Structure 1
Amino acid sequence: MFINLNGTTTDTAATTVAQLVDQLTDSHPDGVAVAVDGAVVPRSQWDTTIQPGAQVDVLGAVQGG
């Protein structure tokens, strides 16, 4: 299905937030935040289904100074 991932149209087989995060982070989701259609999805709800055409933002924390 096609979703808008971080501003880019992307084809993915992932159907849940957890599957998408696993795909993007090689199963290392520490420091990752996700929003679907503008709403933050808490980690406890990563079993949420992603609908085709959804706007998904996946952000990773980075160290800086």
Structure 2
Amino acid sequence: MLILLNGERFATDASNLDELCAKLGFAEAKVATAVNGSFVAAAMRRITQLSEADEIEVVAPRQGG
């Protein structure tokens, strides 16, 4: 399926947000996620199903100031 990941078209076979994060290498990382503009807490990623054309944001925190 095709989704929009951080503003770029992206093909994936992940069925939920948790699986997508794992495939992107963020399985154990502290990241913020959103689907179609709505924040998704880490505990809810496993049950957040992905659909064609979903807009996904994955943001890692930065250090510094």
Instruction: Calculate the TM-score normalised by the size of structure 2.
Output: 0.89
Answering whether residue 41 of structure 2 is matched by residue 42 of structure 1, we say: yes
Q: Percent identity?
A: 31
**Distance of aligned partners of 1:43 and 1:26 in 2 relative to their CA distance in 1, 3 Å threshold:** closer
Q: How many residues align?
A: 64
Which runs of 4 or more aligned residues in structure 1 lie more than 3 Å from their structure 2 counterparts after TM superposition?
none
RMSD: 1.1
Following TM superposition, by how much is the alpha carbon of 1:26 offset from its aligned partner in structure 2, in angstroms? 5.1
User: Which residue matches 1:3?
Assistant: 3
- 1:2-45 C-alpha deviation (Å, 9 max, x unpaired): 0000000000111101001111125322x201000000001111
| Unmatched segments (≥5 aa) in structure 2 | none
Measure the CA separation in 2 of the matches of 1:2 and 1:10. Answer: 6
Following TM superposition, by how much is the alpha carbon of 1:46 offset from its aligned partner in structure 2, in angstroms? 0.5
**Distance of aligned partners of 1:34 and 1:53 in 2 relative to their CA distance in 1, 3 Å threshold:** same
Instruction: Calculate the TM-score normalised by the size of structure 1.
Output: 0.89
For 2:32, the aligned partner's letter is: A
| Unmatched segments (≥5 aa) in structure 1 | none
Q: Secondary structure, in 3 states, of the residue corresponding to 2:24?
A: helix
